[in-house]
Amino acid sequence: MTSNGLNIAVANTEDFRLLAKKRLPRQLFDYIDGGSYQEISLNNNLSAFSNIHLRQRILRDVSKIDLSCQLFNKKHHMPLILAPIGLAGCYARRGEQQVLAAASLANVPFCLSTVGICSIEELRANSNNAFWFQLYVIRDRSYALKLLARAKQAGCETLVLTVDLPVLGERYRDIRNGLSASKASTSLISKLKRGLDIASHPRWLWDVAIQGKPLTFGNLTEAVPDASSLDDFKGWVDSQFDASMTWEDIDWLRNNWSGNLVIKGILDSEDANSAVKIGADAIVISNHGGRQLDSAPATLSVLPEIVQTVDQRCKIIIDGGIRSGLDIVKAIALGADACMLGRAWAYALAANGEQGVSQLLTIFENEMRVAMALTGVTKVDDISLDIISKY
């Protein structure tokens, strides 16, 4: 695939990012690309991977490379999960449908966000492939139970519970672009700027905003029955972040969900231990992609201590800063069982829909194969600290 006007053939995640920046209205691109406050946590995630070096080994038989892994008694092609990302249907027409198709073709899991554009039922009606579902601990417990029942009815066996949003971190890019409510963002000048920005992206306007309707949170239409736009949902969504939630709430959820439970948002070994005790089948070491607490440590930097604390009592997944197959190999070497990919697939989706996501996954696969071959390992289970350079 060659970009329109960028004169590059896509080779990596950064190329998809450039295409996404060109094709999306600025407020949507910055929503994907940005982090909270000064974006220190976001940058920490990226630099942590670049500071880990691989140990090259030679003259080993690496003619047969096996990338497969087991998660919850299912074999997947790679130790990679497409993370839940809100508003994906705003990046490409019915975006969640396209991502599920690409993930299913590659035999890797895709997790639908509570605040996705496509609903649980829409994905199920348009695909026979299973997917995971992500849920927040919301104030309206009765509606949470309805969402759980709908996910179960659709065949979801794995629930990802996001626990790092008791309050919402401020994202300066969203304020500037009018995605976060403020007096400045509701001014006439601000509205005109956003209108001109959208009008300057006619391809997106026609393909997504017009042909991709309805652009609403499909999973929340029952909660906000009179909503006709994303702005109509905003008040209800903002009111549902529950600053009073505790581990007892997680216990309540565990008692109401019989499938696999993944707790996402762990950055501390004590919290990891509590998650295991509460019955989590897996945890996601995550700082929400640098979109919540700024100046938080990089997820990769806390991985080894959490691995030691968990001591194989549950699966360990990591997200944040993963931009290549080499990053996945590094995370597995430091003790992760699998990686969650977020921004990278969002860039690819915005760049070229399902085909873009499929191409991205192929790139990651090839990068993993090369990294494993040149570090002398042929199976994911054989990736260990031995391939990390001490220099």
| Residues with catalytic roles | 288
Name every residue whose Cβ is closer than 8 Å to that of residue 222 and which is 6 or more positions away in sequence: 143, 146
Which alpha helices (H) appear in 205-342, and where do they start and end? 230-240, 247-256, 269-278, 299-310, 325-333
Angle at 74 (CA atoms; ends 275, 257), nearest 5 degrees: 40
- Cα–Cα distance, 273 to 106 (Å, whole number): 33
Peptide bond into 214 cis (omega under 30): yes
Sign of the torsion angle spanned by Cα atoms 229, 170, 31, 156: negative
Residue 310's Cβ-side half-sphere holds a number of Cα atoms within 13 Å equal to: 30
Residues paired with 120 in a beta bridge: none
- Cα–Cα distance, 186 to 189 (Å, whole number): 8
Sign of the torsion angle spanned by Cα atoms 171, 173, 174, 178: positive
- Cα–Cα distance, 337 to 344 (Å, whole number): 19
What DSSP letter does each residue of 285-314 carry, written as one string?
Answer: E-SGGGTSSTTPPPHHHHHHHHHHHHTTSS
Instruction: Write the CA distances from 166 to 207, 261, 381, integer angstroms.
Output: 35, 19, 36
Report the candidate in 276, 278, 320 with the shortest Cα–Cα distance to residue 302. 320
Name every residue whose Cβ is closer than 8 Å to that of residue 268 and which is 6 or more positions away in sequence: 302, 306
Site of tokens 């994202």 = 171
- Cα–Cα distance, 321 to 340 (Å, whole number): 10
